[in-house]
């Protein structure tokens, strides 16, 4: 039974810790525990310095583990050097060998594993075709564009058919259009090869659009692990809510409860609502999290609305952000789609009524 | 007139460089080449007249009966010089590469300090530095007395006045010329390439072999040439540490200009050294052109 369970888990990290010696020592990873499933597209997401790259480098074997253990498909690899680990890395800056042709680069891993030259080159050629660079084998890396080099780096890492592919911000050096094209490309490659991908990025859009699951990290700790919609809709804490997408945060006190809803009083006396949540009673202090796109402009005939005045407008193309003053020092960001002619729904200085579905409210105990 | 003006206009930018190269390099070389075809003056210097005697002397000698006979003596010296120089280059590479690699892997501050330390020996006169090796190597020197007091040996080993001592002296003198160019090429080496190599199932040695060495090749070649050129014409180390027993080209040239009083032959020997150096440079240029497209850095 337990063996079957183990096979579905690609990577298990138990209390992984990394401290760089120095004065004072730098704690890059406090204590990370996670399980990455076989054939999963798993993303480590966080701002720079959050420990995501350190975690990736620990899995690759480039850094020694200070404490904890790392298990790959049931084998403890905590102390194995990188050349023994059946994982390959796609580096942020490609790191193609400049003195080797593209084909030699892609065949390199296989050659080191002892594959015969002809066979290695044949597989390398197939890999190049997989990333649409079949005709580029004889070129040198410096003759390729950044996007092409990135795809060669992918082919090179995939060629030895690793059990896990590690990707260290592979798209960050590409321009926007190329980045978007590479996202679906990566997703396709992961589907076609069936290899477990561990992807490191600071770009939430990348993470949300590609991942099966995401681990949000900050200051050397994993804040939350979940599917993209779990992370976005039900952030575990204020950091996650703030880092992924935009959010309004309000400190509030539970005012009254009714049959269906809990009413919260925010600064300035206005009331926000959420569905009944077990364990929350009148008088509790909480933090309310509200996504700007889940707030609607309504007319004044609707009951239970928030009142405010438009203080700022930012036109973003497909949407417009409105900053609404609820009271002297309390604002609410509202995002509305632009329809037809793109005329703003409300103008600066205008009084507006806002409606919020209680189900859109996320409540954190303060 | 207009033509001359045009030429002057076109080349006036390189005129200072051309002049200094001409005065300090081409003219002395020309003098040596011309002298090598002249007739020796018994009191030193040369007499006018054209003669190939100096070049003939490299291979042939006159016996008692004035017959021209083949004489391998000078060829032996030439080949010994080549041999000792090549050994010195290899030894310098073996010593210099790890040092250069070590320095290149340090942080910037330590790198600069270590590079400074490498150049410190240049602050002292070469002659004095070479003399101090005599104190270390001689029968009653540091090495022998230490080994004897430790009871490892009973009698001093002959270290001084051997070819090994010459190689030691040359490596000691010229190894910085090996270290610096290799360091320069390793400094630009992207450490992440080594990581990429390790990631693709390479041990540390494989990474050295497949990534570090190929990318350090320009530095290795430059360093080898920089050690080889002064070694082939070296004078101080063979003289002091070889005791003049194992004559090398540099000493031979010196001998011809001093007690030998045969300036044309000395010049001919100098031309031989220059030719060897030129051949080495041409081989390097050929290699550089061949590999030019491969070397990106």
At residue A338, the pLDDT reads 85
- What is the average pLDDT score of chain A? 91
Q: Which residue, among A62, A99, A113, would best test binding to B if mutated, counting the most B CBs under 10 Å from its CB?
A: A99
Q: Rounded to an integer, what distance in angstroms lies between the CA atom of residue B68 and that of residue B62?
A: 5
Tokens matching residue A150: 């990135």
In this predicted structure, the answer to whether residue A112 has a pLDDT above a threshold of 90 is yes
Q: In chain A, pLDDT over 70 holds for what percent of residues?
A: 98
Average pLDDT over residues B197-225: 93
Q: Are residues B196 and A93, on separate chains, in Cβ contact within 8 Å?
A: no
The better pLDDT of the pair B280, A133 is held by A133
* Contacts for A186-190: CB closer than 8 Å, 24+ residues apart: A186/A154, A186/A210, A187/A41, A189/A130, A189/A131, A189/A154, A189/A158, A190/A41, A190/A165
Find, in chain A, the residue whose alpha carbon is nearest to that of B216.
Answer: A99
The pTM for the full model equals 0.81
pLDDT score of A2 more than 80: no
User: What is the mean predicted confidence (pLDDT) over A327-353?
Assistant: 86
Shortest Cα–Cα distance, B102 to chain A (Å): 19
Q: Which residues contact A91 (CB under 8 A, 6 or more apart)?
A: A153, A168, A170, B192, B195, B196
Least confident of A92-106, A143-157, A274-288, B277-291: B277-291
Which H or E run includes B69? strand B68-70
Average pLDDT over residues B172-176: 94
pLDDT value at residue A6: 54
Complex prediction ipTM: 0.83
Question: How does DSSP assign B238-285, residue by residue?
Answer: HHHHSTTTS--HHHHHHHHHTTT--HHHHHHHHHHHHHHHHHHHHHHH
Q: Model confidence over A232-288: pLDDT tens digits?
A: 999 999 999 999 989 999 999 999 888 888 999 998 888 898 998 888 888 899 999
Residues B264, B272: Cα–Cα separation, whole Å: 12
Q: Is the pLDDT of residue B126 over 60?
A: yes
Q: How many Cβ atoms sit within 10 Å of the Cβ of residue A149?
A: 22
Over 60: is that where the pLDDT of B227 sits? Answer: yes
Where in chain B are the domains? 73-291
pLDDT in tens, B21-47: 889 989 999 999 999 999 988 887 888
Q: Which domains does chain A possess?
A: 2-243 (3.40.50.300), 248-365 (2.40.50.140)
Length, in residues, of chain B: 297
Give the pairing of strands A164-168 and A196-201. Answer: parallel
Residue A141: list chain B partners with CB under 8 A: 296
pLDDT score of B159 more than 90: no
Residue B266 banded pLDDT, cuts 50, 70, 90 = very high
Q: pLDDT (tens digit, 9 = 90+) per residue, A26-53?
A: 999 999 999 999 999 999 999 998 999 9
In A, minimum Cα distance to B211 occurs at: A97
Distance between A82 CA and the closest CA of chain B, angstroms: 5
Instruction: Tell me whether B70 touches chain A (CB under 8 Å).
Output: no
Q: What percentage of residues in chain A have a pLDDT greater than 90?
A: 69
pLDDT at A366: 67
Residue B121: the pLDDT is 86
Task: Name the residue among A88, A93, A140 with its Cβ closest to that of B200.
Answer: A88
Specify the higher pLDDT residue, B233 or B88.
Answer: B88
Provide the mean pLDDT of chain B: 89
Rounded CA-CA distance A301/B246 in Å is: 111
pLDDT grade for A7, boundaries at 50, 70 and 90: low
Split at pLDDT 50, 70, 90, the class of B292 is low
The architecture of the domain spanning B73-291 is Orthogonal Bundle (1.10)
Q: How far is B100 from chain A (nearest CA, A)?
A: 21
Contacts of B96 (CB under 8 A, 6+ apart): B175, B178, B179, B182, B223
* Confidence class for position A4, pLDDT limits 50, 70, 90: very low
Instruction: Please give the pLDDT value at position B293.
Output: 46
pLDDT in tens, B202-214: 999 999 999 999 9
The answer to whether residue B167 scores a pLDDT higher than 80 is yes
């Amino acid at each position: 039974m337990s063996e079957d369970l183990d096979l579905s888990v690609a990577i298990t990290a138990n209390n992984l810790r990394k401290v760089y010696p120095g004065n004072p020592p730098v704690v890059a990873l406090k204590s990370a525990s996670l399980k990455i499933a076989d054939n999963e597209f798993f993303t480590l997401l966080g701002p720079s310095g959050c420990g995501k790259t350190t975690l990736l480098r620990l899995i690759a074997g480039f850094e020694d583990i200070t404490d904890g253990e790392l298990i790959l498909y049931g084998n403890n690899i905590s102390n194995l050097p990188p050349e023994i680990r059946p994982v390959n890395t796609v580096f942020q800056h490609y790191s193609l060998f400049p003195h080797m042709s593209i084909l030699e680069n892609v065949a390199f891993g296989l050659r080191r594993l002892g594959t015969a030259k002809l066979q290695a080159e044949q597989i390398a050629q197939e890999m190049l075709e997989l990333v649409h660079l079949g005709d580029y084998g004889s070129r040198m890396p410096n003759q390729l564009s950044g996007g092409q080099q990135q795809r060669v780096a992918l082919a090179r890492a995939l060629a030895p058919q690793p059990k896990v592919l590690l990707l260290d911000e592979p798209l960050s050096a590409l321009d926007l259009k190329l980045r978007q094209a590479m996202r679906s490309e990566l997703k396709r490659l992961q589907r076609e090869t069936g290899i477990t991908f561990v992807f490191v990025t600071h770009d939430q859009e990348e993470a949300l659009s590609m991942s099966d699951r995401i681990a949000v990290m900050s200051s050397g700790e994993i804040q939350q692990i979940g599917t993209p919609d779990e992370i976005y809709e039900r952030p575990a804490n204020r950091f996650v809510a703030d880092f992924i997408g935009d959010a309004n945060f309000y400190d509030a006190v539970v005012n009254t409860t009714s049959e269906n809803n809990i009413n919260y009083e925010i600064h300035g006396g206005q009331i926000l609502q959420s569905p009944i949540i077990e364990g929350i009673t009148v008088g509790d202090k909480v933090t309310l999290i509200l996504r700007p796109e889940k707030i609607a402009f309504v007319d004044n005939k609707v009951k239970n609305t928030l009142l405010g005045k438009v203080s700022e407008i930012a036109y973003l193309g497909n949407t417009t952000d409105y900053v609404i003053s609820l009271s002297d020092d309390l604002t609410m960001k509202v995002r509305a789609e632009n329809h037809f002619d793109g005329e703003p729904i409300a103008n600066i200085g205008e009084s507006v009524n806002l409606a919020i579905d209680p189900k859109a409210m996320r409540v954190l105990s303060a | 007139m207009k033509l001359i003006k045009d030429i002057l206009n076109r080349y006036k930018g390189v005129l200072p460089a051309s002049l200094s190269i001409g005065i300090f390099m081409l003219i002395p070389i020309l003098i040596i080449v011309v002298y090598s075809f002249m007739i020796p003056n018994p009191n030193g210097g040369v007499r006018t007249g054209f003669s190939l005697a100096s070049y003939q002397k490299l291979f042939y000698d006159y016996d008692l009966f004035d017959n021209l006979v083949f004489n391998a003596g000078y060829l032996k010296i030439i080949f010994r010089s080549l041999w000792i120089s090549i050994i010195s280059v290899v030894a310098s590479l073996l010593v210099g590469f790890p040092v250069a690699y070590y320095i290149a892997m340090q942080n910037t501050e330590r790198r600069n300090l270590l590079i400074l330390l490498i150049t410190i020996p240049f602050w002292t006169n070469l002659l004095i530095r070479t003399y101090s090796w005599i104190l270390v190597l001689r029968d009653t020197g540091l090495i022998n007395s230490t080994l004897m007091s430790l009871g490892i040996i009973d009698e001093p080993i002959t270290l001084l006045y051997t070819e090994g001592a010459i190689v030691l002296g040359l490596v000691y003198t010229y190894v910085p010329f090996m270290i610096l160019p290799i360091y320069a090429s390793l400094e630009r080496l992207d450490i992440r390439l080594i990581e990429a190599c390790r990631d693709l199932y390479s041990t540390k040695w494989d990474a050295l072999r497949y990534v570090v060495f190929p990318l350090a090749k320009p530095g290795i070649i430059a360093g080898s040439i920089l050690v080889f050129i002064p070694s082939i014409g070296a004078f101080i180390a063979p003289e002091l540490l070889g005791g003049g027993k194992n004559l090398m080209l540099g000493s031979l040239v010196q001998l011809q200009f001093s007690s030998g009083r045969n300036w044309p032959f000395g010049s001919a020997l100098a031309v031989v050294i220059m030719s060897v150096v030129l051949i080495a440079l041409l081989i390097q240029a050929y290699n550089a052109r061949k590999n030019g497209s491969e070397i990106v850095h």
